[in-house]
Amino acid sequence: MHSFRHRTLSLLLVLGSFISMASAAPDTDPDDAVRVASGLSRIGVLDKESKSRFIERVTPEYRRLAATEVMAQMLAGDAWQSMTPAQRTELAGLYEKVVLGALYGAIAAAAPAQPGMTGGKMYRSRSELMNRRCDLLQKVDCAFYVADATAGDVAFQHTLMETGKGWALVDVSINKLSLHTAYAPQVKQSLEHGAANMLEKLRGLVSR
């Protein structure tokens, strides 16, 4: 009996130590959100640069700063589960081009002004949209960072969340219009006819 109690106590002490260590493990530094936001706000259009050249140039940096798969999964909703890996990859790549194309248009319209970060704030909203993102990322603490940037008269908001790769972009708003909110209904409607149809529609949108 004494031996059993001793082993039980030892196990509890080990578990207690593990739990304490896990709970004490530091979260990703919120300052990382500011650094990512600063990187996003520096994405600008070069003089006389075409949209295709802009997308080609900034894609590597954008992918480093953005949660492209999370953004694609949010667009697809429940249909994501029935999509093939190839379809998921294509959706992420196509929506990436949609976002960068929208940024190009907004920044080019503000030229010669270039984007610059003007501020940012951490939030813990429980909106339906943010709850879906938090559920997707399996996050209990639904914290996100919104960074403000401007280029001339154009206002940008970059929404970032902590993901598996640290703080990363999950949505962009241009003059208060969220790109996810703008494109999600079109994606949802085209998904009614299958993932292949949705991807075909997005290909057409990107090629314009």
Q: Is the pLDDT of residue 92 over 50?
A: yes
The more confident residue out of 138 and 10 is: 138
Asked which of 4-8, 20-24, 97-101, 144-148 is least confident by mean pLDDT, the reply is: 20-24
Running DSSP on this structure, what letter comes out for residue 114? -
Quick one: tokens of 78?
């429940």
Q: Please, are residues 151 and 114 in contact by the beta-carbon 8 Å criterion?
A: yes
Q: Is the pLDDT of residue 15 over 50?
A: no
Please give the order of strands across the beta sheet that includes 166-174.
116-123, 144-151, 154-163, 166-174, 177-178
Contact 79, 195 (CB under 8 A): yes
Query: 96 or 13, which is more confident?
Result: 96
Q: 48-207 has which fold?
A: Nuclear Transport Factor 2; Chain: A, (3.10.450)
**Average pLDDT across the chain, whole number:** 86
21 or 45: which leads in pLDDT: 45
